[in-house]
Amino acid sequence: MAIKTILTEPNQLLRQVSRPVEKVSQEIQNLMDDMLDTMYSANGIGLAAIQIGVPKRIIVIDIGKDKEKKEPQYFVNPIIKNTNSILSTYEEGCLSVPNQFAEIDRPSKCEVEYLDYNGEKKLLKAEGLLATCIQHEMDHLEGILFIDYLSKLKKSMIIKKLSKNKSNRIVV
């Protein structure tokens, strides 16, 4: 198990479309363990593999409220089968867009089909924060970040700020 570096915007790797996993092998399980370690150490509630530079369709999530009790969820090759036409709004952040937050509308419920940690096929009906988080992570698999939903002006201001911080090696 290891903590990896999380890529931050602007970085072209984050814009890659991730590729499906062929088999949930030991190697993939090790990658999922590293993703979880990395996510917990950054105090995130979700992480997509591309955020640590691996363009595979893998997501880990833990939205458990109790920090002591870990409730990790693993999603390999997730597919959204259904979404609700009712939207809900959450203030979203992203470990790859550090210290920036914005309200984003997304379907309030979704049904997702995926392989779990053991490679078993599962179907999950999600709502609330979990539904939002799954959709945020699924966007990463397509190279999409939440700032892509903002106005051109807001998005460019955020990217400018992040570029500046990067070049100054300052974390605000």
Contacting residues toward ligand GNR, per CB under 6 A: 44-48, 51, 90, 92-96, 132-133, 136-137, 140
Q: Which is nearer to ligand GNR, 23 or 150 (CB)?
A: 150
Binders of Ni ion among 67-96, rule CB under 5 A? 94
Token pair of 124, please? 């999950």
Minimal distance, residue 29 CB to ligand GNR, in Å:
20
Q: Which is nearer to ligand GNR, 26 or 63 (CB)?
A: 63
78 binds, among Ni ion, ligand GNR, none (CB under 5 to 8 A by kind): none
Q: Which is nearer to Ni ion, 25 or 41 (CB)?
A: 41
Query: Which 3 state secondary structure label does DSSP give 13?
Result: helix
Minimal distance, residue 94 CB to ligand GNR, in Å:
4
Minimal distance, residue 63 CB to Ni ion, in Å:
14
Query: What's 56's DSSP letter?
Result: B
115 binds, among ligand GNR, Ni ion, none (CB under 5 to 8 A by kind): none
Residue 16: name the closest of 45, 47, 44, 54 by CA.
Answer: 54
45 binds, among ligand GNR, Ni ion, none (CB under 5 to 8 A by kind): ligand GNR
Minimal distance, residue 105 CB to ligand GNR, in Å:
12
Please report the sign of the dihedral spanned by the C-alpha atoms of residue 161, residue 162, residue 166, residue 167. Answer: negative
Residue 157: name the closest of 97, 71, 73 by CA.
Answer: 97
Q: What is the per-residue burial (b if ≥16 Cβ within 10 Å, else e) of 139-166?
A: bbbebebbbebbeeeebeebbeebeeee
Kindly state the greatest CA–CA separation across the chain. 46
Looking at the annotation, which residues are catalytic? 137
Q: Which is nearer to ligand GNR, 56 or 140 (CB)?
A: 140
Burial class for 27, CB neighbours closer than 10 Å (0-12, 13-18, 19+): exposed
Q: Which residue has the tokens 């990790």?
A: 72
Instruction: Write out the residues near Ni ion by the rule CB under 5 A.
Output: 94
